[in-house]
Amino acid sequence: MRNPSLRSVAVLTGAGISAESGVPTFRGADGLWRQYRAEELATPQAFMRNPTLVWEWYDWRRGLIAGCQPNAAHRTLTEMERWCEDFTLITQNVDGLHQRAGSERILELHGDIWRVRCTTDNTVCDNHEVPLSRIPPTCPCGALLRPDVVWFGESLDSEVMNAAYAAVERCDLMLVVGTSAVVHPAASLPAIAHNAGAYLVEVNVQETALSALADEVILGPAARELPELWARLTGAL
Ligand code: OAD
């Protein structure tokens, strides 16, 4: 491989980076909850139809995530943040494992499962209650609370998205870790980086739609491959 500059680095992560921590991915065989797929539950329509069902799913996921620990891949990204002059971690994950590993500069494209939002006035609060004492949870104002995440059919926060676009446009190296790269606009970020001249590296256990575009595809689990890649890039290997 070419030795890309590490001055400006952008990283896009997806569910695969947390797989070895024990968090199920969305599209793998373990991605089902009861008989539902994520796309059937993570929508405003599903929530309007049956907020209890949707909250039961989130309560199950929160309980599962609460019992998981960040892995070596999350920790490597923390190290990269400390090392690089300009580093941006863009994640589609809502699990909070990057923060628990110590990452600070994070753009959460799809929100955070540990925050709730009032459906009436949009007030957002942290909420770490596991399991929830009441499903569906309600705001002190009486309105329903929803998870502060982005559902299918909803727009991403434009400030967060613009910061992500800016980061991928200026980076020298972009790493794409553990995402099937099918959900837009997140999935369009690697191509933007590539077109702007960045060296693009994908880390995944299997090839994706992005692999053909990548300058380097590393096939293997992120918790093993990311620390190795970082050691190689910094000359420690
Ligand atoms: P997916 O479940 O679509 O993809 C997970 C990816 O991780 C797959 O490409 C796997 O091959 C890969 N993978 C699995 N284990 C891995 C490991 N140990 N190391 C490296 N890679 C591994 O998850 P996302 O791409 O994150 O959106 O899904 C994108 C969005 O779709 C999610 O943020 C969520 C979902 O529906 C919303 O909820 C809005």
Q: Is there a domain that residue 78 lies in?
A: yes
In this predicted model, which residue has the larger pLDDT, 29 or 212? 212
pLDDT digits (tens, 9 = 90+) for 16-61: 999 999 999 988 777 777 788 888 899 999 999 999 999 999 999 9
**Nearest CA residue ID for atom 9, ligand 1:** 180
Q: Is there a domain that residue 2 lies in?
A: no
**Is residue 95 a contact partner of residue 86, using CB atoms and an 8 Å limit?**
no
* Ligand 1 atom nearest 73 alpha carbon: 19
pLDDT digits (tens, 9 = 90+) for 69-113: 999 999 999 999 999 999 999 999 999 999 999 999 999 999 999
Q: Is there a domain that residue 47 lies in?
A: yes
Q: 1 pLDDT band (50/70/90 cuts)?
A: low
Would the CB of 206 count as within 6 Å of ligand 1? yes
Would the CB of 38 count as within 6 Å of ligand 1? yes
pLDDT surpassing 90 at residue 226? yes
pLDDT of residue 78: 98
Q: Is there a domain that residue 98 lies in?
A: yes
**Is residue 203 a contact partner of residue 176, using CB atoms and an 8 Å limit?**
yes
Would the CB of 221 count as within 6 Å of ligand 1? yes
pLDDT digits (tens, 9 = 90+) for 115-144: 999 999 999 999 999 999 999 999 999 999
- Report the CATH number that the domain containing residue 181 is assigned in CATH: 3.40.50.1220
pLDDT of residue 20: 98
Q: Domain check: are 44 and 75 in the same one? A: no
Would the CB of 21 count as within 6 Å of ligand 1? no
Q: Domain check: are 128 and 40 in the same one? A: yes
pLDDT surpassing 60 at residue 146? yes
pLDDT of residue 28: 76
Q: Is there a domain that residue 222 lies in?
A: yes
pLDDT surpassing 70 at residue 210? yes
Tally the domains of the chain.
Answer: 2
Query: The domain containing residue 203 runs over which residues?
Result: 8-23+70-110+156-235
Q: Is there a domain that residue 145 lies in?
A: yes
Q: Domain check: are 15 and 41 in the same one? A: no
Q: Domain check: are 192 and 86 in the same one? A: yes
Active site residue 110: yes
